[in-house]
Every structure is written in C-alpha cells, then in structure tokens.
Amino acid sequence: MSRTFDDARRWARLGTALFTEAADLDDAGLDAPSTLPGWTRKHLVAHVAANADALGNLVHWASTGERTPMYSSPEERAAGIERGAGMPAGELTAWLRRSTDELAASTAALGDAQWQSPVVTAQGRTVPATELPWMRSREVCVHAVDLGTGPTFADLPGDFLAALCDDIVGKRAKEPGPALLLEANDTGATWELPGEGEPTVLAGPLHEITACLTGRKHALTAPGGGPIPALARWL
C-alpha cells in the first residue's frame, strides 16, 4: 500500500501507547526474556527508549541544520542498551516515558520546511525527516509484540502491516534469499520476493505474513505442510 506521512505519525502514536502499556511491568516482569533471542524485556525497553533519543538527534538535525547522528558509534549504541538493561524497572520505564515524550514534543515543533530536511539514519541512508515517524512506528509496533506480554501482530492496524510488508519486501528483494510468493488470504494482498529457485507460495492472514517477513514466530507452512525456506535477518 502507499503509506502517507500522516499514516506514519498515527501508527507511531498508536505503537508508542501500545509499547508503553505492554512494558509497564515490575522488575520480575521486565527481567524475564523477551521473544528476541538473548534479550530480556529490559534490553528491549532500553532499546526503544534509546531509539527515541536517537531519533530526537535527527529531529534536532532537521530543525537546526546541525549534523547530529543518531548514535556516536555502534559500540555506544550497544553500551546504552546494556546500561538500560541493568536499571531498576522504575528508572527504566521513566527513561522510556521521558524519551518518548521528548520525541513527541520535538517532532510537533518541526515546520513544513524542516520536515523536508535531509538526515542520515544509523544505516547510513540519507532520507528526509518525514521518514522519522515511519522509522519510529516500526520500532514501537514490532517491539510491542517482541515484549511477549500480550500484543501480537494481529493487534496492529492492517494498513500498518501492509505498509511494513511493502517495506520489508523492498529491502529483502535487494539481498540473496529464497524466492517467495506471499498471499494474504484475508485481504487479497500479495507480495513477490525474487530469489533463488522456484517461488514457494505462502498463504495466510496478513498478520502471519508480516510475522514471517519480520523473522518472528508465525504459523505459515510451505505447500504440503513443510517448513518455509529460511530468511536472513530483516534489520
């Protein structure tokens, strides 16, 4: 689907609320494993809080023209997550709320011309600042599911899921991998992923297609009921 700037801002607000509510746990709850291998829920909350701060750097860049990278280095990014993972629950969730509130306030203050300012993502892509709400919506919506405290892909808006599938297929199409034909049998949407061999047809609800493409747990099977071809890491 064709996502708009307003769509992305709406999804970012919804995902922020969903993630913040799902992360409202005590120390025992946040110390439990997330659904991401090797990460506790505290790691995940720290990652999302740090992402808000990092996107805030790009908002500052767009607002002032002063080059302000998301992170000073990959090592600094990883160290920040580890520090957050060691915080008490109250301190960690306070950081999450503070960082999300500050990001919301700074983005609300951007003017039309500032939203068009070019900034550079942590992956080295130069994009207009209008891409920042989409970047944030992916973080908060997908990681709300990764917390493993209740929300699933089925709880996310269908238009967000379709836009996310478009985004992931566009990225995966540039990299080696299996050929797939994905069919959302509840919406009629389809995605074709070019790759090696004859395309494997995978059919199921949109939320299962999205879970599969993001590398999360899903219920899709190859024709005949076998496992689907392995996909490389998405991000």
What pLDDT digit, counting tens, does each position of 19-57 carry?
999 999 999 999 999 999 999 999 999 999 999 999 999
Assess whether 192 and 94 both reside in one domain.
Answer: no
Which residues are 192's β-sheet partners?
181
pLDDT beyond 70 at 58: yes
Considering the chain, what percentage of its residues have pLDDT values greater than 70?
100
Assess whether 133 and 167 both reside in one domain.
Answer: no
Chosen domain end from 151, 176, 198 = 151
CATH number at residue 158: 3.30.1050.20
Better-scored residue on pLDDT, 224 or 34: 34
pLDDT attached to residue 1 = 61
Q: How many domains does the chain have?
A: 2
CATH number at residue 92: 1.20.120.450
User: DSSP of 84-143, one letter per residue?
Assistant: HHTS-HHHHHHHHHHHHHHHHHHHHT--HHHHT-EEE-TTS-EEEGGGHHHHHHHHHHHH
Assess whether 173 and 68 both reside in one domain.
Answer: no
- Per DSSP bridges, beta strands 178-184 and 196-204 are parallel
| Tokens standing for residue 193 | 């992923």
Assess whether 135 and 82 both reside in one domain.
Answer: yes
Assess whether 57 and 125 both reside in one domain.
Answer: yes
Find, among 148, 155, 151, 133, the residue nearest to 205 by Cα. Answer: 155
* Residue whose tokens read 């890491």: 233
| Residue 107, Cβ density class (10 Å: 0-12 exposed, 13-18 middle, ≥19 buried) | buried
Rg (the chain; Cα; Å): 18
The string of pLDDT tens digits covering residues 155-200 is: 999 999 999 999 999 999 999 999 999 999 999 999 999 988 899 9
Chosen domain end from 151, 178, 204 = 151
Range of the domain at 212: 153-235
pLDDT attached to residue 2 = 80
Assess whether 36 and 69 both reside in one domain.
Answer: yes
Chosen domain end from 151, 185, 208 = 151
